[in-house]
C-alpha cells in the first residue's frame, strides 16, 4: 500500500493498463531531454510560476521527465504528488489555493517548507486514452487560473504528449533501424562471406584455368611426343630385323607390317590395311586367327613356340615353323591393337627334328642291340648311365653304379687290360674297344662289349669318358657254339671218314684177291661210315639251306597216321624199339610230307639216341582247335629244365659227360625251322627221369 496524503482514492480502476501504456513509452528514469526541459521552462515563463514539471505517474511514484524550478528532484511519492490527482480525470486539475482544498491540507508540499499554494496539471493523454502523467505548473502563491490559461496548458500538455509519442516512435524507428542495421550487417557479413567465397572460387577458377591451360599445353606436347614416338615406333617396326606387325581391332586389320613379316607371310605391302583373314585367306583352319581372337578378348599375351604356319606365296604353298608373340595393347581396359612379333625357326626345328629322328633311330638301334651308354666323371668316378647300361652289369636303374663298381664286376684278369686300353684312348684321344666277361651279383657270367671315347674340358684337359656297352653273352655263346660245332663237325666227320678211308685202303689192298668175308665186312663198314657221313652232310646241307632261306615247301594233303606208319622203317626193321601210334588216325593235314616226316624221324632218332633204354616210343596224333599236334614220347632219362629253352637253338648240344653221341646239335634247330615255315609251333615237355615228349603242331585247314 502506498502512502496517500489525500484522503481519497488516487488509483484509477484501469491503473494496471495505464501502467502498461506508460511503460510502452520507455521513458521512465531516462535522463532529462532538452525538448521536455524547454517545454517546462516555457510553461514557467508563460504562466509566470516558479515550477513546472513534466511528470509521469508510475505505480508508487511520480517521475519527473522535466523539472523546471524544483532543483534536482527527479521523482516524488505518488501519495504525496498532486500529479497523482491530476491523472484521475482528463480535465485539467486546478487548485487555485491549496490551503482551501481539504484533500491537500495534509500534503507535505502544501503543509511543508515548500509552501505550495497553486497547482494546475493538464494530464498527458495517450492516443489510446490512458492518462500517464501531467504537465503541471506550481506556485507558492495562490492565483486565479483562467479558462484561457487552462486551454493553453492543455494545449501544451498535448504538445508534450506528442513529444512523448514522437520520442517513442523515434525510439522504435531507431530500434527498427538497429534491427535493420543488424540484419543489414548480418547480410553484409553474409555478403562478405559470399564475396570471400566468390573471391576464393575465383582464385580457384583462375588457378584451375591455369592448370587447364598447362595441362592442355602438356597434352599438346604429349600429343606431339606421341605422334613423334608413334612415327619412331613405326620406323622401328619397319627397320626391325624381327618380323613385326600391328593388327587393329577384332577384325585384325593389318595396320603396319614390316618386310620381315611380309616375307614370312609370302606377301607384299599391299596387304597393309586389309583384315588378316582377307590378306592371308590360307591361314583359315590354322590356329592363328582363333588365338588372336582370344588375345583380343582376354587382353592376355600369347606365346607360340614352333608352330607350323602354312602360307601361299605366289600361288605356291609353303610351310614353316614360327615362334611368335601376340602382345595386346589396351586403351582404358579395352584391347585396341595386337602386336605380332614372329621369327621363322624352320631351319632350327627341321634340324632338331632331324636330330631327334637320328636320335630316335639311334635309340631304337641302341634298344634293339641292348646298347647302354654312360658318361664317367674321371675325377670322382661318378657315372651317369642309361638303364640298359646298368642292366648290362646286372644293376637296376635306380641303383648307384659308378666306375669302381664297373671294375668290380669285371673278371679280375681283365681289369688291368681294360684300364690300359682306357688310358691309351685318353692319351691318344681315340676310341677304345674291349670285350670282357663280368660276373653279376647273382653269379651269372655275361660278356660285355665296350667302347668309349675321352671328353675334354675347355682347357683341353680330359675330364670325362663317354662309353657304350652291349651285353654280347648271346653272341659270345653262339660264337663259342659255332667254334665248338666246327670242331665237333670235323671231329664227327673225321671218325667215319677215317673209318671209310681205312676200309677203302684195305679193300684196295685185296681188290685183286678173290672175294672173301673180309670184302663183305669192309664194304659194310664203308657203307656204315658213309651212312653216318651222309646224315652229317645232310644236316649240314639242310642247315645251310635254312640259313639261306632256300627251304622250299612242297605241300600236299596227306593223312598223318599213314605217314607215321611208314616213317622210321629203319627203327622198325632193327626191331629193338617199338613204335606205338595212337590218337586221331584220320586227321589229314596240308603240308610238306617229306619235311614233316624228317621232323618225326629226328624226334624218333633222338629218342633212340638219347633214351636208348626206352623200348617203347609213343607217337600220338591229336586235333586241338585248328591244329594237328604230333608228339613223340620216350621213357628215357629226361632233360634238365635249364637246358629245355636252348634245345632248339642252332649248334646246341648237351654235354653228356662221359658219353659220346654223334651229332652236330643241328637236328632240333632244323626241325624248328621246318615247323615255323608251316606256321606251327614246336616244343618239348620233359622232366629228369620222367622221359621226354617232343611235339609240334601244324595248322589244319578244315576244308581239306
Ligand atoms: P644232335 O643233332 O646233336 O642230336 P639235336 O638238336 O637233335 O642235336 O638235339 C640237341 C640235344 O637235345 C641233344 O644233344 C640231346 O642232348 C638232347 N635231346 C634230344 N632229344 C632227346 C631225348 N629224347 N632225350 C634226351 N635228350 C634229348
What's the pLDDT at 193? Answer: 80
Give the atom of ligand 1 at the shortest distance from the alpha carbon of 636.
24
pTM over the 0.85 mark: no
pLDDT, tens digit (0-9, with 9 covering 90-100), for 374-395: 999 999 999 999 999 999 999 9
What's the pLDDT at 494? Answer: 78
pLDDT, tens digit (0-9, with 9 covering 90-100), for 395-446: 999 999 999 999 999 999 999 999 999 999 999 989 999 999 999 999 999 9
Q: What spacing in Å lies between the alpha carbon of 620 and ligand 1's midpoint? A: 20
Give the closest residue to 468 by CA, choosing from 537, 550, 556, 386. Answer: 386
Give the atom of ligand 1 at the shortest distance from the alpha carbon of 668.
6
Give the atom of ligand 1 at the shortest distance from the alpha carbon of 539.
2
Q: What spacing in Å lies between the alpha carbon of 678 and ligand 1's midpoint? A: 22
- β-strands 51-57, 61-68: how paired? antiparallel
Higher pLDDT residue, 446 or 228?
Answer: 446
Q: What spacing in Å lies between the alpha carbon of 606 and ligand 1's midpoint? A: 6
- H helices present in 510-568, as ranges: 517-547, 560-566
pLDDT bin (cut points 50, 70, 90) of residue 704 is very low
Q: What spacing in Å lies between the alpha carbon of 49 and ligand 1's midpoint? A: 189
Instruction: Average the pLDDT over each of 123-127, 193-197, 558-562 and give the range with the smallest value.
Output: 193-197
What's the pLDDT at 215? Answer: 75
Q: What spacing in Å lies between the alpha carbon of 690 and ligand 1's midpoint? A: 16
pLDDT, tens digit (0-9, with 9 covering 90-100), for 10-55: 999 999 999 999 999 999 999 988 889 988 998 899 899 999 999 9
pLDDT, tens digit (0-9, with 9 covering 90-100), for 293-344: 999 999 899 999 999 999 999 989 899 999 999 989 888 888 888 999 998 8
CA 366, CA 638: separation in Å to the nearest integer? Answer: 39
Q: At CA 301, angle to CA 299 and CA 306, rounded to 5?
A: 145
Q: Whose CA is nearest to atom 7 of ligand 1?
A: 667
What's the pLDDT at 1? Answer: 63
Decide if pLDDT at 226 tops 90: no
Decide if pLDDT at 7 tops 60: yes
Q: What lines the ligand 1 site, CB under 6 Å?
A: 606-607, 610-611, 634, 636, 639, 647, 652-654, 663-669, 692
What's the pLDDT at 247? Answer: 93
- β-strands 51-57, 131-139: how paired? antiparallel
Percent of the chain past pLDDT 90, that is, above it, reads 52
What's the pLDDT at 129? Answer: 93
What's the pLDDT at 701? Answer: 72
CA 575, CA 659: separation in Å to the nearest integer? Answer: 24
Q: What spacing in Å lies between the alpha carbon of 651 and ligand 1's midpoint? A: 11
- Mean pLDDT to the nearest integer, 353-363: 85
pLDDT, tens digit (0-9, with 9 covering 90-100), for 651-678: 777 766 656 666 677 788 889 989 999 9
Q: Which of 668, 683, 694 to mutate to test the pocket of ligand 1 (most atoms within 8 A of CB)?
A: 668
What's the pLDDT at 213? Answer: 81
Are 453 and 466 spatial neighbours (Cβ–Cβ below 8 Å)?
yes
Strand order across the beta sheet in which 462-471 lies: 383-385, 371-377, 462-471, 445-456, 432-439
pLDDT, tens digit (0-9, with 9 covering 90-100), for 582-595: 999 999 999 999 88
Q: Which of 579, 610, 634, 682 to mutate to test the pocket of ligand 1 (most atoms within 8 A of CB)?
A: 610
Decide if pLDDT at 180 tops 90: no
Q: What spacing in Å lies between the alpha carbon of 609 and ligand 1's midpoint? A: 8
Separation of first and last alpha carbons in the chain: 167
Percent of the chain past pLDDT 70, that is, above it, reads 97
- Average pLDDT over the chain, rounded to whole? 88
Decide if pLDDT at 482 tops 80: no
Answer left, alpha or beta for residue 115, where phi above 0 means left and psi between -120 and 50 means alpha. Answer: left
Decide if pLDDT at 104 tops 50: yes
Decide if pLDDT at 627 tops 80: yes
Query: What is the DSSP code string of 100-129?
Result: G-GGGTT-HHHHSTT---EEEEEEEE-TTS
Instruction: Average the pLDDT over each of 347-351, 378-382, 646-650 and give the range with the smallest value.
Output: 646-650
- Mean pLDDT to the nearest integer, 488-514: 83
Are 698 and 556 spatial neighbours (Cβ–Cβ below 8 Å)?
no
Amino acid at each position: 500500500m502506498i502512502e496517500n496524503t489525500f484522503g481519497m482514492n488516487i488509483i484509477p480502476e484501469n491503473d494496471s493498463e495505464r501502467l502498461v501504456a506508460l511503460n510502452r513509452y520507455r521513458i521512465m528514469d531516462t535522463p532529462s531531454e532538452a525538448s521536455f526541459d524547454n517545454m517546462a521552462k516555457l510553461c514557467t515563463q508563460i504562466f509566470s510560476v516558479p515550477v513546472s514539471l513534466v511528470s509521469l505517474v508510475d505505480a508508487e511514484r511520480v517521475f519527473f521527465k522535466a523539472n523546471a524550478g524544483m532543483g534536482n528532484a527527479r521523482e516524488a511519492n505518488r501519495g504525496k504528488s498532486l500529479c497523482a490527482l491530476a491523472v484521475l480525470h482528463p480535465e485539467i486539475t486546478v487548485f487555485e489555493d491549496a490551503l482551501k482544498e481539504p484533500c491537500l491540507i495534509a500534503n507535505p508540499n502544501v503543509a511543508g517548507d515548500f509552501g505550495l499554494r497553486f497547482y494546475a496539471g493538464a494530464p498527458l493523454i495517450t492516443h489510446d486514452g490512458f492518462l500517464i502523467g501531467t504537465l503541471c505548473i506550481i506556485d507558492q502563491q495562490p492565483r486565479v487560473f483562467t479558462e484561457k490559461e487552462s486551454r493553453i496548458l492543455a494545449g501544451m500538455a498535448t504538445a508534450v504528449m506528442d513529444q512523448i509519442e514522437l520520442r517513442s516512435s523515434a525510439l522504435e524507428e531507431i530500434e527498427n533501424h538497429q534491427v535493420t542495421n543488424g540484419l543489414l550487417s548480418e547480410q553484409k557479413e553474409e555478403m562478405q562471406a559470399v564475396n570471400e567465397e566468390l573471391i576464393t572460387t575465383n582464385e580457384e577458377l583462375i588457378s584451375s584455368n591455369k592448370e587447364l591451360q598447362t595441362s592442355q599445353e602438356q597434352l599438346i606436347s604429349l600429343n606431339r611426343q606421341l605422334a613423334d614416338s608413334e612415327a619412331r615406333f613405326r620406323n622401328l617396326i619397319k627397320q626391325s630385323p624381327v618380323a613385326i606387325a600391328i593388327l587393329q581391332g577384332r577384325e585384325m586389320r593389318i595396320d603396319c607390317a614390316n618386310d620381315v613379316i611380309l616375307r614370312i607371310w609370302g606377301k607384299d605391302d599391299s596387304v597393309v590395311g586389309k583384315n588378316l583373314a582377307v590378306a592371308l585367306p590360307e591361314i583359315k583352319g590354322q590356329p592363328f586367327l582363333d588365338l588372336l581372337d582370344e588375345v583380343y578378348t582376354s587382353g592376355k599375351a600369347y606365346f607360340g613356340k614352333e608352330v607350323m604356319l602354312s602360307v601361299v606365296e605366289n600361288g605356291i604353298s609353303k610351310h614353316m615353323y614360327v615362334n611368335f608373340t601376340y602382345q595386346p595393347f589396351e586403351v582404358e581396359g579395352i584391347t585396341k591393337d595386337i602386336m605380332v612379333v614372329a621369327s621363322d625357326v624352320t631351319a632350327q626345328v627341321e634340324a632338331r627334328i632331324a636330330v631327334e629322328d637320328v636320335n630316335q633311330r639311334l635309340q631304337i638301334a641302341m634298344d634293339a642291340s641292348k646298347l647302354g651308354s654312360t658318361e664317367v666323371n674321371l675325377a670322382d668316378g661318378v657315372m651317369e648311365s642309361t638303364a640298359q647300361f646298368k642292366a648290362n652289369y646286372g644293376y637296376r636303374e635306380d641303383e648307384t653304379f659308378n666306375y669302381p663298381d664297373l671294375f668290380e664286376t669285371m673278371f679280375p684278369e681283365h681289369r688291368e687290360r681294360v684300364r690300359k686300353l682306357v688310358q691309351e684312348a685318353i692319351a691318344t684321344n681315340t676310341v677304345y674297344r674291349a670285350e670282357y666277361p663280368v660276373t653279376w651279383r647273382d653269379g651269372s657270367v655275361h660278356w660285355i662289349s665296350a667302347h668309349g671315347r675321352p671328353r675334354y674340358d675347355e682347357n683341353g684337359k680330359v675330364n670325362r669318358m663317354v662309353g657304350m656297352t652291349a651285353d654280347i653273352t648271346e653272341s659270345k655263346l653262339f660264337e663259342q657254339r659255332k667254334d665248338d660245332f666246327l670242331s665237333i663237325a670235323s671231329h664227327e666227320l673225321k671218325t667215319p671218314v677215317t673209318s671209310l678211308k681205312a676200309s677203302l685202303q684195305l679193300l684196295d689192298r685185296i681188290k685183286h684177291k678173290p672175294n672173301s668175308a673180309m670184302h663183305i665186312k669192309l664194304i659194310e663198314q664203308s657203307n656204315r661210315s658213309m651212312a653216318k657221313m651222309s646224315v652229317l652232310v645232310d644236316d649240314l646241307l639242310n642247315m645251310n639251306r635254312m640259313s639261306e632261306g632256300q627251304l622250299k615247301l612242297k605241300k600236299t594233303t596227306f593223312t598223318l597216321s599213314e605217314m607215321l606208319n611208314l616213317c622210321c622203317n629203319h627203327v622198325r626193321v632193327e626191331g629193338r624199339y617199338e613204335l606205338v601210334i595212337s590218337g586221331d588216325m584220320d586227321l589229314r593235314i596240308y603240308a610238306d610230307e617229306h619235311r614233316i616226316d624228317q621232323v618225326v624221324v629226328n624226334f624218333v632218332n633222338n629218342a633212340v639216341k638219347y633214351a636208348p633204354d626206352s623200348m617203347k616210343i609213343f607217337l600220338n596224333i591229336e586235333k586241338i582247335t585248328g591244329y594237328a599236334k604230333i608228339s613223340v614220347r620216350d621213357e628215357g632219362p629226361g632233360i634238365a629244365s635249364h637246358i629245355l629253352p636252348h634245345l632248339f637253338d642252332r649248334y646246341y648240344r648237351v654235354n653228356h659227360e662221359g658219353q659220346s653221341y654223334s651229332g652236330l646239335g643241328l637236328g632240333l634247330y632244323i626241325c624248328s625251322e621246318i615247323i615255323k615255315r608251316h606256321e606251327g609251333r614246336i616244343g618239348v615237355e620233359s622232366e629228369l627221369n620222367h622221359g621226354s615228349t617232343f611235339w609240334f603242331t601244324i595248322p589244319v585247314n578244315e576244308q581239306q
